[in-house]
Amino acid sequence: MNVAVVGAGALGCLFGGRLAAAGQDVWLLHHRQSYVDRLNEDGLRIESDVDGLESTTVSIPATTDADEVAHVDLVLVFVKAHQTRAALEQHKECISPETRVLSLQNGIRHYDHLVDFVGERRALAGVTYQGAVVEEPGVVRHTSDGSSTFGGADAEFARKAERALVDAGFPIKRVDDPLPAIWSKQLISLPIKPLAALTRLPSGKLVEQEELVAFMDKIIMEAERVAAAKGIEIPNEEPLETVIEICEAGDSHRSSMLQDVLAERKTEINAVNGAIVELSREEGVDVPANELVTWLVRGLERSYLDGR
């Protein structure tokens, strides 16, 4: 299978590198030339903290220009959620009328973005619980080996992609409808990400305060009402308990949205809680807790992004 990975960050390099090591024909696409140069000069090193998976170095072509790639069978999208449309447009030269596009990103509406860009027949989406961090350009540490779930209208191609990912060592679950899995994961992200960004607390500290836990519960319950209004059945029956367990297990972990704020980058707030606000208006559901954290994080962004 010919694969292009749009967004050669931690997860993009992890998935692209493992696929290449398993014999797939893979290109990595990144926006920064110096990053691409390091990958092309030194190859990609995946350092594994996962039992049963060895560290590996793979030679894998990287570029900033999709014209070099030509058309591929599959595009994997691993950019920040708010960058999806722009990234697909920037790299459209590798997307043919038969290319399938798969996103395992954060956010509620990444499937919608793919459908808008390539149509429902060619869009695949889902979630991943894989964990990875970039230690330096060309070196990625694989920190956790969680499962990935995805699906879409083209079940035949989804099975082909599933086989390639399983052969690369990823635990995969393929489904016909990816929306329940997407919403289930986002119910966990919705309370953690904005509150971590606003309080600057690591995950474990977030759930030590009863008031914050109660506010997390409000955020989750509002999202559940929006999902119910849209006819989406979420498999996670106790999301708040899951949030508390995850936060306690990753006591010192800093949410990606907190990392973005500390680095003074644009966050994914519009794709997470902001998306709940948008959908709530479409369905006529009140979501005051999600509205509040969306407005506050947007205001926090303005404090360091205005004038750039």
pLDDT at 222: 97
**Judgement on whether residues 83 and 229 belong to the same structural domain of the protein:** no
What's the domain range around 19?
Answer: 2-177
Extract the tokens encoding 170. 């990823």
**Judgement on whether residues 160 and 213 belong to the same structural domain of the protein:** no
Rounded to the nearest 5 degrees, what angle is found at the Cα of 11, between the Cα atoms of 198 and 189? Answer: 30
CATH number of the domain enclosing 140: 3.40.50.720
Q: How far is CA 107 from CA 86, 184, 261, 297, in A?
A: 16, 11, 17, 16
- Per-residue model confidence as pLDDT tens digits over 225-257: 999 999 999 887 799 999 999 899 877 888 889
**Judgement on whether residues 249 and 301 belong to the same structural domain of the protein:** yes
Domain end residue (candidates: 142, 177, 212): 177
**Judgement on whether residues 240 and 223 belong to the same structural domain of the protein:** yes
Q: Is the full-model pTM beyond 0.85? A: yes
**Judgement on whether residues 166 and 191 belong to the same structural domain of the protein:** no
CATH number of the domain enclosing 240: 1.10.1040.10
Contact 91, 67 (CB under 8 A): no
**Judgement on whether residues 14 and 133 belong to the same structural domain of the protein:** yes
The parts of the chain modelled with pLDDT lower than 50 are: none
Domain end residue (candidates: 120, 150, 177): 177
- Per-residue model confidence as pLDDT tens digits over 92-128: 999 999 999 999 988 888 899 999 999 999 999 999 9
**Judgement on whether residues 248 and 280 belong to the same structural domain of the protein:** yes
How many helices (H) and strands (E) the chain has is answered by 12, 10
Domain end residue (candidates: 121, 151, 177): 177
**Judgement on whether residues 161 and 192 belong to the same structural domain of the protein:** no
| Domains contained in the chain, number | 2
**CB burial of residue 64 (10 Å; 0-12, 13-18, 19+):** middle
Distance (Å, whole) CA 158 – CA 144? 24
Give the position of tokens 């009140």: 286
